[in-house]
Amino acid sequence: MAVVREPKQARSREAWERVLEVGRQLIEEGGVPALTITEVCRRSGINAPSLYARVDGRAGLFAAVYERGMAEVRATEERVLLPLPRPDATTGEQAAEAAEAVAEVFLVHGRLLRSVITQAESDPQLLERGAEESRRMMRRAADAIHVDPTVALEIAQTLYAECVLRTMYGAGFLTGTAETEPAFRARLARTAVARALAG
């Protein structure tokens, strides 16, 4: 586990926030290989010794950026999934709203998630961490649908898998043509509602 030495002074905290933001931007733009000490220092305006005072090299930098990115993903999950299910929602509405929420998480964080998922193919520790994060999100989505728990989890797994495929391979991967975001969400909702109502 990489060690991050959090800054205590306000000026150092501001510089560290710039490092994390630049690191996320680099990963989103060019994948994990684009995250380099040199480029982070150049873009964030800090020197390498200052960065090495916070993390142990590139692996530590990636770990810090990853943790920040996952915290942002979880914050979005909290925003879209915590209010669900609505007290007066029907089963069909619960399923459709869960589908909307999962799609929203991937829309907001798709570039980061695509890069991290790609990196996980060659990083067993990252793959396991990603699996844990994925299972946690799917459980939250399943909790938003008040049907048999096994059915709810199946729905959540289907929603998640569809969003991963779209994120990794593009809007036309399954349909052959570029499926718009509204059309994709409508299809997700129909799939979730049909499965929820089938019992």
Convert the pLDDT of each residue in 50-84 to its tens digit.
999 889 899 999 999 999 999 999 999 999 999 99
Q: How far is CA 192 from CA 87, 98, 186, in A?
A: 19, 8, 10
Query: What was the pLDDT predicted at 12?
Result: 75
What number of CA atoms fall less than 13 Å from residue 54's CA on the CB side? Answer: 25
Domains of the chain, first to last: 1-75 (1.10.10.60), 83-199 (no CATH)
The C-alpha atoms of residue 32 and residue 66 are separated, in whole angstroms, by 10
Residue 55, beta-bridge partner list: 4
Average pLDDT over residues 175-198: 95
> Residues 29-43: what's their mean pLDDT?
97
Among 106, 96, 95, smallest CA distance to 137 is for 106
What's the confidence (pLDDT) of residue 190? 98
Radius of gyration of the chain (CA): 19
Please check whether residue 146 is in contact with residue 59, taking contact to mean a CB–CB distance below 8 angstroms: no
The answer to whether residue 172 scores a pLDDT higher than 80 is yes
Tell me the torsion sign for CA atoms 57, 131, 168, 105: negative
- Is pTM beyond 0.75? Reply is yes
**In the predicted model, what is the mean pLDDT of residues 94-98?**
98
- Mean pLDDT of the region 139-157: 98
Q: Which pLDDT score is estimated for 43?
A: 97
Distance (Å, whole) CA 62 – CA 182:
33
The residue assigned the tokens 């593009």 is 170
Please give the pLDDT value at position 158. Answer: 98
| pLDDT tier, 5 (very low <50, low <70, confident <90, very high otherwise) | low
Confidence band for 3, pLDDT divided at 50, 70 and 90: low
